[in-house]
Amino acid sequence: MHKDMLLTAMLGWLVSSAVYLVGGIDHLLIAVTIFVGLDYTTGVLSA
């Protein structure tokens, strides 16, 4: 159980640090993620 707690804390720290560093460009990252998902989906469908 101690390993799960440590892993959760490390993952939380990593995600919160990434959010802090990204700052105000979160809308841009959301748009890029959507386009990457669409590109992947259309690539799989055309294959």
Q: How much is the pLDDT for 36?
A: 95
Instruction: For residue 7, give both structure tokens.
Output: 């892993």
Q: How much is the pLDDT for 7?
A: 87
The range of the structural domain enclosing residue 19 comes to: 2-46
Q: How much is the pLDDT for 4?
A: 82
- Cβ neighbours around 25 below 10 Å, total: 11
Q: How much is the pLDDT for 13?
A: 92
C-alpha distances out from residue 43 to 8, 31, 37, 40, Å: 34, 18, 10, 5
Is the pTM higher than 0.75?
no
Tens-place pLDDT, residues 1-47: 688 888 889 998 998 888 888 777 778 888 899 999 999 999 999 98
On whether the CB atoms of residues 36 and 28 are closer than 8 A, the answer is: no
What total of structural domains would you count in the chain? 1
